[in-house]
Structures are given as C-alpha cells and as structure tokens.
C-alpha cells in the first residue's frame, strides 16, 4: 500500500514548498529512487525545472519535463495534469488535487507551506487519504 507523508514547513520558514519539493527530490534521488514531481500547470512544472538547477549550490539532480526528457536517462521527471505512465516509486505532489494515479506509487510526499490555500487543500488531501485507509505520516519541519 502507498505510504503517504506530509511535510509541513513552519511559520516564517525561509523556503517555500517548491524548495522543499526540490530537497525531497534530491534526497530520494540520492537514495536511488525514481521521482515524479506532479504540478498543477506547465508554468509550475517549468518553475520546478529551473529551481532544481539552482536550489542548492553544487547539487546536480538529473531531471526533465515529462514527455520531453528521456525517462531512461532522467530519474526525476516533472509533469502536470497527465498520467505518470511507468513511474511508480516516489511521487511529490504539488497539485492542489489528489492525483488519480497516486496509488501506484510506493511513496507520496505532500509538501505544505504556510500559504492558506495550500494548507486548506492539503487538509482535504489528508482526509481523502485517511478516509481510504492509507498509512499517513506528518513531519513538521524546522525549516
């Protein structure tokens, strides 16, 4: 069964959920996992694509946009709206909705910052997963 983790940034955090998503993708990549970052729009996907190049000095995460990058050469794919196709290890969800394909992933990460709308939709997704019996974890981060 898919394991779902919510990562919650504190009030006044220097970073937002996009930077947190990059940190989570980096950690999963360093552990040898394939990652699919699900966004709500092409603009958001491009933002994450750019941010993965710059969020930390000296880091390199092979990544690309879903449908444009070669999955065989790209362990971190960024998509929006579409199905994740053959991906099934780690899903980082930046969309306000629960992706219809989440259950085929081993792990789902839900980055949450202090934006009111992000918190509201995060609570709705939490209830959705809980009501369906998925194992949930909540990590309240220091920053």
Q: What is the mean pLDDT of the chain?
A: 93
- Which CATH number is 3-140's, of 3.40.1710.10, 3.30.420.40, 3.40.50.10110, 3.90.1150.10? 3.40.50.10110
Does 23 score more than 70 pLDDT? yes
pLDDT at 36: 97
Residues of the chain with pLDDT > 70, as a percent, come to: 99
Radius of gyration for the alpha carbons in the chain, expressed in angstroms and rounded: 14
47-76 average pLDDT score:
88
pLDDT at 143: 66
pLDDT at 14: 73
26-30 average pLDDT score:
96
- Our separate counts of H helices and E strands in the chain read 3, 7
pLDDT at 38: 97
pTM: 0.95
- What does 25-53 look like in DSSP terms, one character per residue? HHHHHHTT--EEEEESSHHHHHHHHHHHH
């Amino acid at each position: 069964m898919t394991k779902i983790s919510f990562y919650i940034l504190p009030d006044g955090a220097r970073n937002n959920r996009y930077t947190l998503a990059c940190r989570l993708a980096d950690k999963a990549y360093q552990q040898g996992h394939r990652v699919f970052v699900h966004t709500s729009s092409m603009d958001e996907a491009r933002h994450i694509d750019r941010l993965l190049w710059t969020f930390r000095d000296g880091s390199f995460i092979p990544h690309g946009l879903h449908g444009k990058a070669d999955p065989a050469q790209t362990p971190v794919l960024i998509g929006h709206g579409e199905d994740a196709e053959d991906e099934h290890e780690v899903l980082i969800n930046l969309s306000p909705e629960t992706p219809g394909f989440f259950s085929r992933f081993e792990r789902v990460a839900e980055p949450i910052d202090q934006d009111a709308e992000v918190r509201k939709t995060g609570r709705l997704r939490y209830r959705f997963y809980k009501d369906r019996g998925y194992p949930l974890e909540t990590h309240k981060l220091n920053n």
